[in-house]
Amino acid sequence: MDQATPPATLGTAAPPVARHRQSGFIRSAGLRFAILYAFLFGASALALALFLWWATAGLLDRQTDAAIRADAQGLAERWEEGGITALIATIQERLAENVDDDAIYLLVDRDLNRIAGNLNRWPNGVTMDREWFELPIERPGLRSLARIQRFDLHGGFHLLVGRDVQVRAQMRRLLTDALLWGVVMVLVLGTAGALVVRGVFRRALATISATAAAISAGDLSRRVPLSGRSDEFDRLAETINEMLDRIGRLMDGVRQVSNAIAHDLRTPITRARARLEDATRNAQSAADLHAAIERAQADLDGIVAVFHALLRIAEIEAGTRRSAFADLDLAPLLADLAELYGAVAEERGLRLELDWPEALPVLGDRELIQQAVANLLDNAIKFSPPGGIVRLSATGGMPVRIVVADQGPGIAAADRERATERFFRAEAARHTPGSGLGLALVQAVAQLHGGTLLLADNGPGLSAELELA
């Protein structure tokens, strides 16, 4: 396998490297957020500028056009009523009344000779009837810019109606300048803002990434500090910290198991080894040798049983058995176990009392619950004095509680906490056979079912309550 691994790794590793280079620029989330910010800022600024333009320069344009149209309408009515004479009179009248001096009229005959109005001559390029033009003009005393409309009248007369827009054009120029400067401002402010956003983002992630780095480096005690603002970043930090706590507990479990294996399996292995070595050196007869080998074999069987129990607990704690959960009725399950252990209890002079409702529905793993209750009954029978009572009872509902109570020596209050640890054996149990794994397995089964194992004083004896949520 070792020889086969490197090429496979190279083969699969190459594409991600290429991808990394390609999109390295976009791979910084901080930069992405900064660019997004700058884009949004720029787009809003552009929208604002367009609205300003429409609301100022555009409004003035529209007002001028409306004034020209109204003027033309009035002149057209006069022309209908009184012909050329009335029109000329009206033009002169209006020019006289024009305080702002921005109105422009020009009436010419067929040969473009001026008849009335304040323009000296017909401007070049004004060729089409009813068209709008914006062009420089010359009025007596000044050059200026005008917006005008041309009307062709009966009898070969031509009329120009318009407004001087020199002031308006100046204002438009000012506005354009201001907006151009605005663009520069937007660019500067957008970039600065983007940098600030990236900085904030980086700073918020820096603590998390520093903690993660410290943990990868082996310092498992580190946690992500909270800012105290209980914002999204704090919630993320809390989630990460919970995850780290869970990992820590799992690591403790592994450490506990390896310590336990080191201490508690070394002893029987040493014993088996010593027996075999002693036999090879000192056995006088084939019978001696045979006996030593058989004892060593029994030791090995014990070691295997401990191993099996440890792996079983690990399997349960890993939680993979939860997929095998099914709806089951505990009442017949308990009855079967009571029947199995009833005979043993009777043989030891114990009374087995039973009490549970007719139906005990629960969602769980049949085999594991059987084994857990069997372990509790094993213990109760093992530690009960002759003539004692072992009581197996259960109550339904949420959670379901299964209680096994005996009248044995019990477990001292100080030891109850530790009684479910792997390999823990109370003082009173030192000299009885057992691996010290029975209650650890029951505890694991309870936890798999979302419940707990409660150990209490039965006065005298031990009451073990297995809760299955």
Partner 1 sequence: MRILVVEDDRDVAGFVLKGLREAGHVVEHAGNGRDGLFMAASEGFDAIILDRMLPGGIDGLRLLETLRSQNNNTPVLFLSAMAQVDDRVRGLKAGGDDYLTKPFAFAELLARVEALTRRGKSEGPATRLCVGDLEMDLLSRTVKRGGAKIDLQPREFRLLEYLMRHAGQVVTRTMLLEGVWDYHFDPQTNVIDVHVSRLRQKVDKPFPSPLIHTVRNAGYMLRHDG
Q: How many residues bind partner 1 (CB under 8 A)?
A: 28
Span interacting with partner 1, options 86-94, 123-131, 149-157, 378-386, rule CB under 8 A: 378-386
How far lies 247's CA from each of 243, 250, 255, 450, in Å? 6, 5, 12, 19
Q: What is the dihedral of CA 111, 115, 118, 120, to 10 degrees?
A: 40
- Binding of residue 304 to partner 1 (CB under 8 A): yes
Nearest CB to partner 1, comparing residues 134 and 339: 339
* Opening angle at CA 372, ends 366 and 376, nearest 5: 145
Task: Determine which helix (DSSP H) or strand (DSSP E) holds 117, and give its type and residue range.
Answer: strand 114-117
Span interacting with partner 1, options 225-233, 265-273, 364-372, 413-421, rule CB under 8 A: 364-372
- Binding of residue 251 to partner 1 (CB under 8 A): no
Nearest CB to partner 1, comparing residues 135 and 311: 311
- Binding of residue 347 to partner 1 (CB under 8 A): yes
Closest CA to 233 of 206, 197, 198: 206
Q: Which of 48, 135, 210, 324 binds partner 1 (CB under 8 A)?
A: 324
> What is the spatial distance between Cα 169 and Cα 182, in angstroms, rounded to a whole number?
19
Burial class (CB in 10 A: 0-12, 13-18, 19+), 291: middle
Q: How far is the CB of 458 from partner 1 (least distance, A)?
A: 20
- Binding of residue 321 to partner 1 (CB under 8 A): yes
Nearest CB to partner 1, comparing residues 365 and 465: 365
Nearest CB to partner 1, comparing residues 68 and 310: 310
Task: Determine which helix (DSSP H) or strand (DSSP E) holds 88, and give its type and residue range.
Answer: helix 57-97
> What is the spatial distance between Cα 391 and Cα 425, in angstroms, rounded to a whole number?
23
Span interacting with partner 1, options 41-49, 192-200, 278-286, 340-348, rule CB under 8 A: 340-348
- Binding of residue 371 to partner 1 (CB under 8 A): yes
- Binding of residue 261 to partner 1 (CB under 8 A): no
β-pairing, 361-364 vs 326-329, is antiparallel
- Binding of residue 339 to partner 1 (CB under 8 A): yes
Nearest CB to partner 1, comparing residues 244 and 437: 437
Nearest CB to partner 1, comparing residues 52 and 374: 374
Nearest CB to partner 1, comparing residues 91 and 316: 316
- Binding of residue 332 to partner 1 (CB under 8 A): no
Closest CA to 409 of 429, 436, 433: 429
Output 336-341 pairs: Cβ under 8 A, ≥24 positions apart: 336/370, 337/370, 337/373, 337/374, 337/377, 337/392, 338/392, 340/374, 341/374, 341/377, 341/378, 341/381
- Binding of residue 344 to partner 1 (CB under 8 A): yes
* Opening angle at CA 151, ends 146 and 154, nearest 5: 150
- Binding of residue 451 to partner 1 (CB under 8 A): no
Q: Which of 382, 393, 416, 447 binds partner 1 (CB under 8 A)?
A: 382
Residue 97 corresponds to which amino acid? Answer: E
Task: Determine which helix (DSSP H) or strand (DSSP E) holds 158, and give its type and residue range.
Answer: strand 158-164
Q: How far is the CB of 312 from partner 1 (least distance, A)?
A: 8
Burial class (CB in 10 A: 0-12, 13-18, 19+), 188: exposed
> What is the spatial distance between Cα 137 and Cα 120, in angstroms, rounded to a whole number?
9
- Binding of residue 433 to partner 1 (CB under 8 A): yes
Q: Which of 166, 256, 370, 393 binds partner 1 (CB under 8 A)?
A: 370
Residues 446 and 466: beta-carbon distance below 8 Å: yes
Closest CA to 221 of 206, 241, 205: 241
Give percent helix, percent strand, percent coil of the chain, each to the nearest 5.
60, 15, 25
- Binding of residue 301 to partner 1 (CB under 8 A): yes
Side-chain half-sphere exposure of 277, counting CA atoms within 13 A = 6
Q: How far is the CB of 221 from partner 1 (least distance, A)?
A: 33
Q: How far is the CB of 238 from partner 1 (least distance, A)?
A: 35
Nearest CB to partner 1, comparing residues 104 and 390: 390
Nearest CB to partner 1, comparing residues 172 and 382: 382
> What is the spatial distance between Cα 20 and Cα 25, in angstroms, rounded to a whole number?
9
Span interacting with partner 1, options 5-13, 186-194, 273-281, 299-307, rule CB under 8 A: 299-307
Q: Which of 156, 357, 434, 450 binds partner 1 (CB under 8 A)?
A: 434
Q: Which of 20, 290, 308, 418 binds partner 1 (CB under 8 A)?
A: 308
- Binding of residue 315 to partner 1 (CB under 8 A): yes
- Interface ranges with partner 1 (CB under 8 A): 300-301, 304-305, 308, 311, 315, 320-321, 324, 336, 339-341, 343-344, 347, 367, 370-371, 374-375, 378, 381-382, 433-434, 438
